[in-house]
Amino acid sequence: MMNFELMNSISKYFSDMFSGLLSLWAGMRVTGKYFISPRAIVTQQYPENRATLKMEERFKGEIIMPHDENNLHACTGCGICEMNCPNGSIEIITDRIPNAEGKPERVIDKHIYHLSMCTFCGLCVKTCPSDALAFGQKFEHAVFDRNNLTKVLNQPGSKIRKEIKK
């Protein structure tokens, strides 16, 4: 009886050791397999692949205001994006300019966008009634001066498109 237990414990000792070594070998096989297959390397070598690197079309890189070839945009300066922005990264400065009928009309002067505060939640793009805003794909935003992160989205001299209703 004693003998049997002793034998049992001895065989357990050795089987533990061998199953342990086998489990270690199983792990080493995985890493060893990747060591001899350099094609499995997944790292993107970023600055070198700049030419081929293309972001997804929906990528939220920054907020832009698309202008067409006549330097026309769609922003009416209504301020809905400013109201909807959760962290105040949009400021809108409007002007009142008399229109053809002589009534003063609200026109956007500056659409100021603080990239440094933006969290890319997308509410401004989503809620804009005239689809004046969009996401741009540019992602290299590093600058030396924080002030450079404050951008004016409407280009100088740009005007609102005629067909946009107020």
Residues engaged in binding other proteins (CB under 8 A): 17, 19-21, 23-24, 26-32, 34-35, 38, 40-43, 45, 56, 58-60, 84, 86, 88, 119-123, 126-127, 135
Nearer to other proteins, 1 or 22 (CB): 22
Do the strands 104-114 and 62-64 form a parallel or antiparallel pair, or are they unpaired? unpaired
Q: How far apart are CA 23 and CA 30, in angstroms?
A: 11
CA distances, 133 to each of 81, 104, 122 (Å) = 9, 25, 10
Of 85 and 160, CB closest to other proteins: 85
Strands 134-136, 90-98: pairing kind: unpaired
Quote the least distance from Cβ 160 to other proteins, whole Å.
22
Which one, 28 or 93, has the nearer CB to other proteins? 28
Q: Which is nearer to other proteins, 19 or 148 (CB)?
A: 19
Distance of closest approach, residue 125 Cβ to other proteins, in angstroms:
9
153, 108 Cβ separation under 8 angstroms? no
